[in-house]
DNA sequence: ATAATAATTTAGATTACCCTAAACTAATGT
DNA sequence: ACATTAGTTTAGGGTAATCTAAATTATTAT
């Protein structure tokens, strides 16, 4: 059985290696799990010994099939719990991340299956991110980020990249939730900020923010 | 913030010192948290340094007010989660203990308040044990155990002392749930076993089992 | 090609929790 | 009073995860 910490490292490696094959660098990994590079080196050695990642010194780490499955199970739990917190307990979507970080490490197959059933097998979490199924299958959303939309184009918001409370609060204020339609009405080349239409409301979005909004044309 | 392990020790001390004032012996404590006496000694020193218990060498440990509150909060979480698992997720009452042992250590005030609200502020858990309120107030059930009932007497089952799966499965089979009415129709002095009426059904209960059924006349 | 710089790894400690074995304390029986 | 015994504590270590500082490797600039 994996420890709390091992699960966190695997999850971080999964998220950092995005489309799978690029190696994850020790420094990036350390930053992601909020430790020092030396600690990350120790852990990747341990994970490699357990065949959860492949690791080459000074080069980086990649998840093995086994490691990827474990990572996806942690992500499945995280996203199901987030969904539960919002849908059943009435949390705001910017309040759930921290608690889900704890709940994702509860070890009980039965619990997560029952929770999935209770929530009626949701496909995405409150931030629009896809929830892996019990076999670790996850539907990859080939979404582009909002800052790549041209003037005049419309799109549907599918997800949010960053789950920090401050960003989510801001998105909440302007009404930028997954499922909503967004139309770009002006682009400012200087700072790449945009003006958009959301629910008939004219909103101003900085580049920092639009980068983190994923959309589907 | 208390660690997982510290919380478990506090909870164990609470349960072992029943009505509060008897000191908890190191050996009993060690057995309860499934470690060795030497480890328990280390931990009680640590808890004493944190003013969560008072501790005298070779004599035993007692919860301070602060320690008792912490213990009650862990118990509150445990029992609310058990209630959730049974009522919302459809677990059997003999399946919940292990998972609740993990869930009880999630740190989030907001979560537990929301959960309490979601469950509509239950007073007891699925085993009939009282759930402490947000201030740590717990209604002491002055219940007697079933083996103290005389022949011919009726009573209401209030709780179950032991939460091991095998006992709960047995009680499930004969229908002995909290809230049910039980009537003693025969006592066997030799082995202290009893015959009783439960839902109109004649059931045979050994002393080992009747000791663990709490009732209210 | 080599020096400077950035990234990574190793070495050596630290903390929390747990262990075994030995030493100690309190209680009991003769 | 003293020996036995049960219970407890101390001493000394082990493991997992972390850290700082020093050493090593890879990359970049000249």
Determine which helix (DSSP H) or strand (DSSP E) holds A168, and give its type and residue range. Answer: helix A165-174
Residue B176 near residue B213 (C-beta atoms within 8 A): yes
Q: How far is B74 from chain A (nearest CA, A)?
A: 16
How far apart (Å, rounded) are the C-alpha atoms in residues B106 and A103?
Answer: 7
Who among A99, A108, A111 is closest to B108 (CB)? A99
B22 touches strand D (CB under 7 A): no
Say whether domain B76-139 belongs to CATH 1.10.10.10: yes
How far apart (Å, rounded) are the C-alpha atoms in residues A149 and A143?
Answer: 11
* Cβ within 8 Å, pair A115-B90: no
A95 touches chain B (CB under 8 A): yes
pLDDT tops 80 at residue B49: yes
Those residues with Cβ within 8 angstroms of residue A25's Cβ, 6 or more apart along the chain or in another chain? A60
**At A158, is the secondary structure helix, strand, or coil?**
strand
- Taking only the tens place, the pLDDT of each residue in A109-121 is 999 999 999 999 9
Q: What pairs with residue A124 in β-bridges?
A: A130
- Taking only the tens place, the pLDDT of each residue in B166-213 is 888 888 888 888 888 889 888 888 888 899 998 888 889 889 888 888
pLDDT tops 90 at residue A97: yes
CATH of A144-216, one of 3.30.420.40, 2.30.30.90, 3.30.2270.10, 2.40.240.10: 2.30.30.90
Distance in Å from D20's C1' to A196's CA comes to 49
**Domain span(s) for CATH 1.10.10.10 in chain B:** 4-63, 76-139
Distance in Å from D23's C1' to A61's CA comes to 22
Q: Give the number of beta-carbon pairs within 8 Å between A and B.
A: 44
Residue A80: φ, ψ to 5°: -65, -45
**Domain span(s) for CATH 2.30.30.90 in chain A:** 144-216
- Taking only the tens place, the pLDDT of each residue in A150-174 is 888 888 888 888 878 888 888 888 8
pLDDT tops 90 at residue B51: yes
pLDDT tops 70 at residue A20: no
How far apart (Å, rounded) are the C-alpha atoms in residues A31 and A35?
Answer: 6
Name the nearest CA neighbour of B163 among B89, B122, B88, B104: B104
What's the longest Cα–Cα distance across chain B? 56
Query: What size, in residues, is chain B?
Result: 217
pLDDT at B84: 98
- Taking only the tens place, the pLDDT of each residue in A64-76 is 999 999 999 999 9
A183 touches strand D (CB under 7 A): no
Mutate which of B1, B89, B109, B113 to test chain A, going by most A C-beta atoms within 10 A?
B89
B20 touches chain A (CB under 8 A): no
Class of A4-63 per CATH? mainly alpha
**Domain span(s) for CATH 1.10.10.10 in chain A:** 4-63
pLDDT at B20: 67
B1 touches chain A (CB under 8 A): no
Question: Mean per-residue pLDDT for B148-166?
Answer: 83
Closest amino acid to nucleotide C27 (CA–C1'): B58
A108 touches chain B (CB under 8 A): yes
- State the pLDDT confidence band at B18, using cuts at 50, 70 and 90: confident
Residue B51: φ, ψ to 5°: 65, 25
Distance in Å from C3's C1' to A30's CA comes to 29
- Taking only the tens place, the pLDDT of each residue in B54-102 is 999 999 999 999 999 999 999 999 999 999 999 999 999 889 999 999 9
């Amino acid at each position: 059985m994996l420890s709390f910490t091992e699960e966190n490292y695997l999850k971080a490696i999964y998220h950092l290696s995005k489309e799978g094959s690029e190696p994850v660098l020790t420094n990036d990994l350390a930053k992601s799990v909020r430790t020092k590079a030396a600690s990350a080196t120790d852990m990747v050695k341990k994970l490699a010994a357990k065949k959860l990642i492949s690791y080459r010194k000074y080069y980086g780490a990649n998840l093995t099939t086994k490691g990827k499955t474990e990572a996806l199970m942690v992500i499945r739990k995280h996203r199901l719990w987030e969904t539960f917190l919002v849908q059943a307990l009435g949390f705001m979507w910017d309040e759930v991340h921290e608690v889900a970080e704890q709940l994702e490490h509860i070890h009980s197959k039965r619990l997560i299956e029952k929770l999935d059933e209770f929530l009626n097998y949701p496909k995405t979490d409150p931030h629009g991110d896809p929830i892996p199924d019990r076999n670790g299958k996850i539907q990859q959303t080939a979404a582009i980020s909002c800052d790549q939309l041209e003037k005049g184009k419309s799109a549907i918001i599918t997800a949010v990249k960053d789950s920090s409370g401050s960003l989510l609060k801001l998105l909440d204020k302007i009404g930028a939730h997954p499922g909503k339609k967004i139309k770009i009405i002006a682009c400012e080349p200087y700072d790449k900020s945009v003006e958009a239409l959301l629910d008939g409301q004219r909103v101003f979005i900085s580049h920092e923010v639009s980068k983190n909004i994923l959309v589907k044309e």
